[in-house]
Amino acid sequence: MIFDRSNSQRRLHRAFLILAIPASLFCLPDCNAKPLDDTQVLADRLVTPADFSDRLPDVPAPVAEPSQKRSNSTVSLNGSVSRLRLQGAAEGAGPLSGRATTMIDTSQLATQKPHMSSVPPEVFKGWLDKTHPQFALNVANMASQSVVVVKGRFDDSAKTLQKLQIPHERIGAGDLKSYPLDNTKVLIVDCPGELSREACQRVRDFVARGGYLLSTDWALNNFLSNTFNQYVIWNSGTNHGTMYDATVRDADAALFNGTVSNAYWKMDPECHLIHVVNRDAVRVLVTSQKLQGDDPDRQGILAVEFPFGRGFVLHIAGHFDNNSTIPFSNFLPDPAPNIGISLRQALSANFVVAGLSGVRIANNHQR
């Protein structure tokens, strides 16, 4: 069910869940846990420096900007990867992507008003078949463990994956600390992304070894800021509206294949707004002029991507599902012109396809 997260309704819904669900089912970050030792994480839990020595260039460690608003509940995981894959790909990896050439110019969006449409699953599958024809021919044969969705109370990425007919597994947040990820290529952490510290470390290891991670909305503060705090954090800002203009700022060929340059972007009330800590590593993919007015940083960032170890992370300020206020329907509040599905969904789907196909994301970006 899709909930309307207005200020009062969202808080009421969360309060109801707290009263109705046993405490044992919650999986929240352990704020009092002792930080992990850097050497132990790199040598025993993550990867050893030898794993990177002959393949990765030395780059300086990310440096945090001086004035950052942090949540009091944030717990940083130690053991940063000291060498990032900022140039080239590993042996046997797929080709690096360049600039998008199949993105449709919709810069005249200002002349159009946002409209909700009923978009049947066939439109999602049709977009995938047209944008990724070779992938679409073989996707049905992929193991469901290749994509794992960590269920959230507010986002439901599995619904969009079902429409795209991409096999996947759904697990609870509490299952992630022990779920085998050996055969997983793409991991999706749905909003609100409330993971234990042990689960956060497993996700960090997964990405460092070459996995693709997609996270949505509140997962920024509840999970991503704890796990990759040297890259992006929540700046304590939230949006005041629900429908925003969206402009592609860094048109990566893999991520914006078959998308549009401008569209509308549906956000829930009180989405966590993105602050980029390391601008040398993090690519700002999509921004909103209207959202700049709500953003303490005046950046209006809707989507970011960055490399970590051998893998990649995509975070969007919004959801991967339809995010409609009308539950149990095909209504999509922000279908993009020309492609039928929303820009946020097309971007996220391209990231999933890249992970499943072994396409590495280019690291040259516009700052």
Give the pLDDT confidence score for residue 367 in this predicted structure: 54
Task: Encode pLDDT of 120-152 as tens digits.
Answer: 999 999 999 999 999 999 999 999 999 999 999
**Would you place residue 365 in the very low, low, confident or very high pLDDT band (cuts 50, 70, 90)?**
low
- Please list the alpha-helical segments (H only) found in 261-313: 289-292
**Would you place residue 65 in the very low, low, confident or very high pLDDT band (cuts 50, 70, 90)?**
very low
User: From CA 125, how far away is CA 229, in angstroms rounded?
Assistant: 36
Q: At 224, phi and psi to the nearest 5?
A: -65, -40
**Would you place residue 198 in the very low, low, confident or very high pLDDT band (cuts 50, 70, 90)?**
very high
Give the pLDDT confidence score for residue 306 in this predicted structure: 97
330 near 105, Cβ under 8 Å? no
pLDDT at 26 over 60: no
For the chain, what percent of residues have pLDDT higher than 90? 64
366 near 297, Cβ under 8 Å? no
Task: Encode pLDDT of 222-251 as tens digits.
Answer: 999 989 989 999 999 999 999 999 999 999
Q: Which domains does the chain have, with CATH numbers?
A: 26-60+69-357 (3.40.50.880)
pLDDT at 206 over 70: yes
For the chain, what percent of residues have pLDDT higher than 70? 71
Give the pLDDT confidence score for residue 99 in this predicted structure: 59
Give the pLDDT confidence score for residue 112 in this predicted structure: 83
∠ Cα 353 357 359 (to 5°): 90
Identify the CA nearest to 264 among candidates 320, 342, 329: 342
pLDDT at 66 over 60: no
Task: Encode pLDDT of 83-119 as tens digits.
Answer: 333 333 333 334 334 456 689 999 887 678 888 999 9
pLDDT at 55 over 80: no
Asked which of 4-18, 27-41, 296-310 is least confident by mean pLDDT, the reply is 27-41
| Rounded average pLDDT over 10-32 | 39
**Would you place residue 70 in the very low, low, confident or very high pLDDT band (cuts 50, 70, 90)?**
very low
